[in-house]
Amino acid sequence: MNKGRGGQQEAPLYQAIKELQKGGYLPFHVPLHGRGPGAPHLLQAGLGSLMQRDFTEISPLDDLHRPRGAIHRAQRLAAEFFGAARTFFLVNGATVGLLALFLALTRPGDKVLLTRLSHKAALHGISLSGAYPVFLPVEREPGTGLPLNVSPETVERALREHTDARLLLVTSPSYWGVTADLHSIGKLAAERKLLFAVDEAHGAHLCLCREIRPHAAAAGADMWVHSAHKSLGALTPGAYLHLKQPALGPDLSFWLQALQTSSPPSPVLVSLDLARRQAAQRGRRIFQKAEHWALRFRRLLEQGGVPVIPSAGPRERSFILDPCRITILCRDGKGPLLSKYLSRHYRLKVEMEGEHFILMVAGPAVVSVTPEKLARVLVRALGELDLLDCREDKDPEKAFALFPFLHGPGGLAGRRGNGQDDEVPFVLPPRKALLASCRDVPLEAAAGRVSGEMIVLSPPGIPVLSPGERISSLTVHYLLGERRRDSVFHGAADPRLRKIKVVTGTKTM
């Protein structure tokens, strides 16, 4: 984080919009709603003030794809604040940043090192570019089975084995808020001149916490993405793509132009400008308050017998938890029940419910309620569902079943004696598998075949299976269980997962 040499109190895009509104022009331009009057009545009634600021690229608002005015200045201020040489504002989430990154920086057959904690956008980017993914196993917390992150030792080993790798992508923090030791990993990547990218979608605030958490800029990453709407308070789906070296800018800019709309929504762009401004001016105060709140809440939950993971934080020093991500265990598959119960009876909406857990994200919006009051609510609700003091299962192999997204080969380090670490799941690069001839087979008969599609549990948007990957019996077993529970998967051609697409032969394109 860099507060800059001044200018951080400015918000050039916000100013530009205000100027435009002041003018009182009659809008002979798109969008057709013309700041509201041309919109459907209910839309105007519900979103009127936002619609008054809904412009696309008219003067003096600048052009996202060739910025020279307000957007240029706003992006420069963001780059300065986040410690980048160049920052792109993204109007299609961190997703589009990841897609552009792979298209700009990798070629067909290039090896990309990443983990199974990666969001589907990373695998989609790889599918588009033709690169070849190699999964690096993720460590887990010994007591609970909670997936942590990739260790520097694993990265070092992988760099020795894959001397031809082109790019390393680390997802840090993970969806559950666990950061990797980015500093050590960054040094390893720099020594080998390997491109080092960080998916920091959930961690734009990490540089603002009291105890500064590992983050991409400090680790010398070549590029990193921030979902500013997830971790800084921007409008959905505003995000940033940051670059350490401006030299990569033109290629990324080309792909961002190809992948993003030619009518970027000004409310989202302005929110990116204002999110940066707020982070620079008051971010430390805001996020340290949220962090303090979350630490107290977590402590009270533990005292009340609520099984929070990890109770004392992951012990390994290199995996540091964002305390604002609070995972609560639920035995007997009661995660969805607890989530519904909290919503219906206590008016609390959680980020995600898994079969055996719920994930709560604490941020600036919840600190107006005292942690004491909310902890009492949670203790009462869990008591009513008989879910207190339920962390009796100490077998990490069983407990690992709580976090099934990493079932596939190459997912986790140290799976007991099953050789999982050594398996190479990708028989084909995802792009080749997507272009191959495929046929549908019953899910029950899919083990050993090569997947022709991506199957993603959402949230958290992590692929369970990617195209080109050899389908393991563990994955089939897991998917059969999810099918029985009627889970929602993205990507599958048969959304009820009765059949699955497998590769029968490859064509050359």
Ligand X SMILES: Cc1ncc(COP(=O)(O)O)c(C=O)c1O
Q: In 194-221, which positions are buried (b, 16+ CB within 10 angstroms) versus exposed (e)?
A: bbbbbbbbbbbbbbbbeeebbbbbbbbb
Counting contacts by CB under 6 A, is residue 287 touching ligand X? no
- Does 175 contact ligand X by CB under 6 A? yes
Q: Which helix (H) or strand (E) holds 323?
A: none
Q: Which of 17, 74, 100, 121 binds ligand X (CB under 6 A)?
A: 121
Residue among 62 and 199 whose Cβ is closer to ligand X: 199
- Does position 357 bind ligand X by CB under 6 A? no
C-beta separation of 352 from 402 below 8 A: no
Nearer to ligand X, 259 or 377 (CB): 259
Residues in the chain: 509
User: Crossing angle for the helix pair 93-105 and 249-259, nearest 10 degrees?
Assistant: 130
In the bound state with ligand X, the residue whose beta carbon lies nearer, of 84 and 117, is 117
Does position 407 interact with ligand X (CB under 6 A)? The reply is no
**Distance from C-alpha of 208 to C-alpha of 1, rounded to nearest angstrom:** 8
Measured CA to CA, the distance from residue 509 to residue 496 in angstroms comes to 31
Binding string, residues 189-218; x marks residues near ligand X by CB under 6 A? ----------x-xx----------------
Q: How far is the CB of 20 from ligand X (least distance, A)?
A: 27
Piece in contact with ligand X (CB under 6 A), picked from 2-10, 30-38, 93-101, 302-310: 93-101
Q: How far is CA 256 from CA 15, 70, 119, 253, 327, in A?
A: 25, 19, 19, 5, 35
Regarding 102 and contact with ligand X (CB under 6 A), the answer is: no
Which of 70, 101, 217, 239: binder of ligand X (CB under 6 A)?
239
Pairing of strands 325-329, 308-309: antiparallel
> Measured from the CB atom, is 233 or 371 closer to ligand X?
233
Does 227 help bind ligand X (rule: CB under 6 A)?
yes
Site stretch for ligand X (CB under 6 A), options 87-95, 343-351, 358-366, 479-487: 87-95
* Residue type (1 letter), 207: C
Residue 477's alpha-carbon distances to 276, 443, 483, in angstroms, are 45, 9, 10
Tell me which of 8, 75, 95, 271 binds ligand X, using CB under 6 A: 95
Query: For residues 327 and 472, which CB has a smaller minimum distance to ligand X in the complex?
Result: 327
* Count of residues interacting with ligand X (CB under 6 A): 15
Cβ proximity to ligand X, 335 vs 463, nearer residue: 463
Q: Is 108 left (phi over 0), alpha (psi -120 to 50) or beta?
A: beta
Nearest approach, Cβ of residue 54 and ligand X (Å): 20
Q: What dihedral do alpha carbons 361, 367, 369, 370 form, nearest 10°?
A: 100
93 in contact with ligand X (CB under 6 A): yes
Residue ranges binding ligand X (CB under 6 A): 93-95, 119, 121, 171, 175, 199, 201-202, 227, 237, 239, 460-461
